A and B are shown apart, each in its own frame.
Chain A
Amino acid sequence: MLIEIRNLTKQFRKGDETITPLHDVTLDIDRGEFVSLMGPSGTGKSTLLNQIAGIDRPDSGTVTVAGTEITRLSRSRLARWRAEHVGYIFQTHNLIPVLTAYENVELPLLLLPFDRAERRRRVQIALEAVDLVDRADHYPRQLSGGQEQRVGIARAIVADPTVVVADEPTGDLDPATSEQILDLLQRLNRELGTTLLMVTHDAQAAAIANRQLRLDNGQILEIEHSLESVSSQTERH
């Protein structure tokens, strides 16, 4: 298994009240899977995603990604681990406003031991994948919402991470643009074999994944697991 989540519990205290968005969650995600995570607002979808992305810590339980138990890493080693292994697609305000599309996509590569030429090559490939080569020198404010999100996706995949997580990536977009973005994510999964975990509260969006999960009352429910799609992924590798 690529991602192994074991007995994960996360609580928040709000005054006297304690909420438990994740209660003893156990979940496996395989390499190459495209998993969608659904559920009403405020159930803890982002919280779970953030545990996998290594930007938050559980109260108990473990997350192991590609053999590394990330819940045990120190703050600075975890940052290093994120640079190498995670691509994160945000809902909005994804990009650094002072940097061009090109520079935004290059940013994660600056943390890794790539020289200038190698960085250029990779940024080029990532921008091609999202079909934005001609917008490389544009600043975020010069891009449409959909284009901005595509730059965000290019940035998430540029370092060839172990897992890409997306937190409501279409939450702020109109239906037509949403569809484009979902198509793009699906293509990344099919053509590049990217392991994808996408949070959404839109059932239609969730349906494009080959595995659909639902989070409710701190528990994970398996809605649909299209084995065919998974095995086709396995064949490809």
Chain B
Amino acid sequence: MLKFLPYILKTLWRHRARTLLTFSGAAVSLFVFCFVVALQEGLDRLTSQSDSTLVVFQANKFCPATSHLQQDYDQVISKLSGVREVVPIQVFTNNCRASLDVVVFYGVPPKKLRSVRDFELTAGSWAEFETNQDAGVVGQAVARRRKLKPGDRFSIGEVTVTVAGIFASQNKAEENYIYTHLEFLQRTPGLNLVGTVTQHEVVLDPSADPSHVAAQIDERFRGGPIQTDTRTKGTFQAASLADLVDLIGLTHYLGYACLGLMAVLILTTNFMSVQDRIREHAVLQTMGFSGELVFSLIMIESVLLSFAGGATGILTAVTVLANAGIAVSAEAVSLALTPSISLAVIGLLLSIAIGVLAGMLPALTAARTEIVPALRAA
């Protein structure tokens, strides 16, 4: 088959305008598709995450600005069996609704941060963070978006932090947050938050039953001044992003629609290419090219086009996803769009499949053409 490659490539090159348009269509389709899949993958990562971590929130509250729990609930919770550690967290965000450029501060006891998160500093130092009241460590996605580096001061509303470090995490969503001292956020001017927190994060022993412990916690505070609603972190995050979940489900269809469009585009190009060459294919068959060979040549043409276009779209999407640090956030939970191997592989396989699918009918048409009428027609 390699012997026929010059013929195939030159045929594509001859109609370069048409080839380029189809190629671009394939690239754009796969680019969009990659974003849709990245969105879905990001959501799946958040909602399937950490079954062994619970989030205790004020009952019937949704935005972190309105949830206020007693900070000393942590004493009570940590005595329950199956609980390994309790981290009181004050959340501060500039925007509770779904948005692309949300800044979220998580105030935590500074000494506890490193034990409950896997952060690695890519710049700055932990000592700087732990010893300065107004210090914050910034996720690298935020740092990139806001162009922050250690030593910078950064304000949202009344909150001004000094960047002590930039961190990376296995959990890409975390890279969209800024962690500060708990007390610092509680003392934000204008907010009287000392003694209360937004939520408690409860790390469980691996052997503990999350739903059992969650029920125990809510039971324990039922009669208290503030009632709680405790869920696994995955469920909590899914609930926070609930509005987005439906939307993401919808984008899924848009992603597939894009692929459908690409299939139609390549199908059209293939049919045009076959129609243009009815006589040429008849000449080839006269020479001794079998129907099977003509079929294969057109299939290769189709797959080359869709694969090259698709691969370009995927490569562009992966580059953008890897470098732009795009995240969608709602209710202080961020969904990070990141590239993945599975994304690239699925994209490439789909490109090939679309090429095969869109090549089949035109190739069959060309292969089945009767030689003599085709020669007489031209």
- A65 CB to closest chain B CB (Å) equals 14
The interface residues of chain B lying within 8 Å CB-to-CB of A107 are 7, 284, 287
Hey, which chain A residues are within 8 Å of B291, CB to CB?
75-76, 79
Which residues of chain A come closer than 8 Å to B4, judged between CB atoms? 110
Stretch at the interface among A23-31, A95-103, A198-206, A213-221: A95-103
Report A-chain residues with C-beta under 8 Å of the C-beta of B114: none
Instruction: Indicate whether A53 reaches chain B with its CB closer than 8 angstroms.
Output: yes
Q: Are A108's CB and B372's CB within 8 A?
A: no
Q: Number of residues in B with C-beta < 8 Å to the partner? A: 26
**Count of A interface residues, CB-CB < 8 Å:** 28
- A94 in the interface (beta carbon within 8 A): yes
Cα distance, A152 to B177, chains bound together (Å): 71
What's the minimum C-beta distance from A115 to chain B, rounded to whole angstroms?
10
CA distance A72 to B279 in the complex (A): 26
**B152 near A: Cβ within 8 Å?**
no
Residues in chain B near residue A66, CB distance under 8 A: none
Query: Bound complex: CA of A53 vs CA of B280, how far in Å?
Result: 17
Q: Is B364 an interface residue (CB 8 A)?
A: no
Chain B residues whose C-beta falls within 8 Å of the C-beta of A111 in the assembled complex:
287-289, 293
Per-residue A-contact encoding for B3-16, CB less than 8 Å = 1, 0 else? 11011001101100
Q: B350 interface residue, CB < 8 Å from A?
A: no
Residue of B286, B293, B371, B372 ringed by the most chain A CB atoms within 10 A? B286
User: A93 in the interface, Cβ–Cβ < 8 Å?
Assistant: yes
Q: Which of B10-50 contact A (CB under 8 A)?
A: 10-11, 13-14
A83 touches B288 (CB 8 A): yes
Which chain A residue lies CB-closest to B12?
A98
CB of A110 to closest CB in B, whole Å = 5
B278-316 interface code vs A (CB 8 A; 1 in, 0 out): 011001111111111100000000000000000000000
Q: Choose from B11, B289, B372 the contact partner of A98 (Cβ within 8 Å).
A: B11
A93 to chain B, nearest CB (A): 6
Interface flag for B226 (CB, 8 Å): no
CB distance from A27 to the nearest CB of B (A): 19
| Cβ–Cβ contact A103 & B287, under 8 A | no
Q: Are B286 and A55 in contact (CB under 8 A)?
A: yes
Q: A75-B290, A99-B6 are in contact. List 10 more A-B contacts (CB 8 A).
A: A55-B372, A80-B290, A82-B287, A82-B288, A96-B280, A96-B283, A97-B14, A108-B287, A111-B287, A111-B289
